[in-house]
Amino acid sequence: MKLHNDRKTVVMVVDDAVDSIRMINDAMEEAGMTVLVALEGNQALTISQNITPDVVLMDALMPHMDGFETCRRLKENPAFADIPIIFMTGLSDTEHVVMGLNAGGVDYVTKPINTTELLARMDVHLTNARMTRSARSALDTAGQNLFAVDREGNLLWGTPQVCQYLPDAAHAEFSDVRARLGEWLGHSPDPGHSMPLEIMGVARSVEFLALVDNREYLLRLKTPQNQNSATAALRQRFELTMRESDVLLWIANGKTNREIGQILDMSPRTVNKHLEQVFRKLGVENRTAAAASAIRLLAIQ
Domain that holds residue 151: 143-222
pLDDT, residue 2, reads: 45
Least confident of 16-25, 153-162, 288-297: 153-162
Confidence of residue 162 (pLDDT cuts 50, 70, 90): confident
pLDDT, residue 273, reads: 94
Which residues have a Cβ under 8 Å from the Cβ of 171 and sit 6 or more positions away? none
User: Mean pLDDT across the stretch 35-45?
Assistant: 95
Asked whether residue 182 is assigned to any structural domain, the reply reads yes
* Residue 231, pLDDT above cutoff 50: yes
pLDDT, residue 4, reads: 47
Residue 41 and residue 71 share a domain: yes
Least confident of 121-125, 170-174, 216-220: 170-174
What are the tens digits of pLDDT across the range 65-75?
Answer: 999 999 999 98
pLDDT, residue 272, reads: 92
* Residue 5, pLDDT above cutoff 90: no
Picking from 239, 86, 81, the residue whose alpha carbon sits closest to that of residue 154 is 81
* Of residues 216 and 201, more confidently modeled: 216
What is the pLDDT of the chain when averaged over all its residues? 85
* Residue 147, pLDDT above cutoff 50: yes
Backbone angles phi, psi at 157, to 5 degrees: -165, 165
Residue 291 and residue 198 share a domain: no
Residue 29 and residue 43 share a domain: yes
* Of residues 121 and 228, more confidently modeled: 121
Residue 175 and residue 120 share a domain: no
Asked whether residue 5 is assigned to any structural domain, the reply reads no
Is 0.75 surpassed by the pTM of this model? no
* Of residues 88 and 165, more confidently modeled: 88
Helices 268-282 and 257-264, axial angle in degrees (round to 10)? 110
Among candidate residues 202, 222, 242, the one where a domain is terminated: 222
What are the tens digits of pLDDT across the range 89-101?
Answer: 877 667 888 889 9
Among candidate residues 222, 255, 288, the one where a domain is terminated: 222
Q: What percent of the chain has pLDDT above 90?
A: 39
What are the tens digits of pLDDT across the range 269-299?
Answer: 999 999 999 999 999 999 899 988 888 787 6
Domain count of the chain? 3
Residue 280 and residue 189 share a domain: no
Asked whether residue 3 is assigned to any structural domain, the reply reads no
* Residue 159, pLDDT above cutoff 70: yes
pLDDT, residue 67, reads: 94
Domain CATH for 182? 3.30.450.20
pLDDT, residue 141, reads: 53
Domain CATH for 276? 1.10.10.10
